[in-house]
């Protein structure tokens, strides 16, 4: 989390934070978290802002090797981190960023939606609640978050679902709590974003 929003990294993803970004992080559920530091040359190949990147099986094993057991020779660690960066840059950045809006009206919208994700609140509903036109609100979302209202709300629901699943909630209960009409709809929208099904994520499939 930074002043610009939140990024979430399930077991199939890396969270990348460049130097100079004040941030904090929080783990949910049973977690084995590995942290690696990159020198300037390697860091320059990754995005200049926080991002969520694919953790391929090879990159994952390289991180585990670089952070396990007694310290390795510097050259060996450098080779492992080279693998991590090469793998991370070979795949597109992952859409698991929830931007933090600055506009007062958008902040009020986020509070309204976040209070009850199970309620199917439309753009018109929240526009009326904050006293602004739906078209104006839509433009504000695009300008401040880079995504439309529906996509932003989906990101928020997936973020909440990841927290609930990590805490042991069932897939069915999580789907209902986050506003999906059916469990199958939840699975269909969750899996492409996270890279694994809700059931496998809940079971702790992989190292976070």
pLDDT tens digits along 111-166: 999 999 998 899 999 999 999 999 999 999 999 888 899 999 998 999 899 889 98
Counting the structural domains of the chain, the total is: 2
Closest by CA position to 55, among listed 96, 27, 111: 96
Residue-level pLDDT at 205:
57
Encoded tokens for 138:
């839509």
The answer to whether position 161 is within a domain reads yes
* Domain shared by 137 and 198, yes or no: yes
* Domain shared by 74 and 108, yes or no: no
- The end-to-end CA distance of the chain, in Å, is 16
* Domain shared by 11 and 78, yes or no: yes
Domain boundary among 90, 114, 149: 90
* Domain shared by 108 and 187, yes or no: yes
The answer to whether position 208 is within a domain reads no
This model's pTM is above 0.75: no
Domain boundary among 70, 90, 110: 90
Residue-level pLDDT at 206:
42
* Domain shared by 119 and 140, yes or no: yes
| 5: region left, alpha or beta (phi > 0 left; psi from -120 to 50 alpha) | left
- Which residue range forms the structural domain that includes residue 54? 5-90
The answer to whether position 95 is within a domain reads no
What is the rounded distance in angstroms from the CA atom of residue 195 to the CA atom of residue 201? Answer: 9
Q: Which residues of the chain have pLDDT under 50?
A: 206-208
* Domain shared by 80 and 13, yes or no: yes
Contact between 38 and 81 under an 8 Å Cβ cutoff? The reply is yes
What is the rounded distance in angstroms from the CA atom of residue 121 to the CA atom of residue 16? Answer: 32
* Domain shared by 124 and 152, yes or no: yes
Closest by CA position to 171, among listed 151, 194, 150: 194
Q: What percent of the chain has pLDDT over 90?
A: 61
């Amino acid at each position: 989390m930074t002043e610009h929003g939140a990024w979430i990294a399930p077991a199939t993803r890396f969270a990348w934070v460049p130097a100079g970004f004040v941030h904090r992080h929080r783990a949910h559920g049973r977690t084995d978290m590995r942290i690696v530091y990159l020198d300037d040359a390697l860091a320059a190949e990754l995005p200049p802002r926080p991002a969520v990147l694919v953790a391929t099986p090879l990159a994952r094993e390289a991180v585990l090797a670089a952070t396990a057991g007694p310290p390795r020779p510097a050259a060996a660690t450098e080779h492992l981190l080279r693998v991590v960066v090469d793998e991370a840059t070979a795949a597109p950045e992952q859409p698991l960023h929830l931007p933090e809006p600055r506009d007062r009206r958008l902040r009020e919208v986020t509070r309204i939606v976040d209070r009850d994700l199970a309620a199917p609140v439309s753009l018109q509903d929240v526009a009326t609640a904050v006293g602004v036109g739906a078209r104006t609100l839509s433009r504000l979302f695009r300008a401040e978050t880079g995504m439309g209202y529906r996509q932003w709300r989906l990101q928020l629901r997936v973020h909440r679902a990841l927290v609930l699943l990590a805490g042991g909630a069932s897939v069915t209960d999580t789907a209902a709590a986050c506003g999906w009409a059916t469990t199958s709809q939840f699975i269909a929208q969750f899996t492409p974003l996270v890279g694994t099904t809700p059931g496998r994520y809940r079971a702790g499939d992989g190292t976070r």
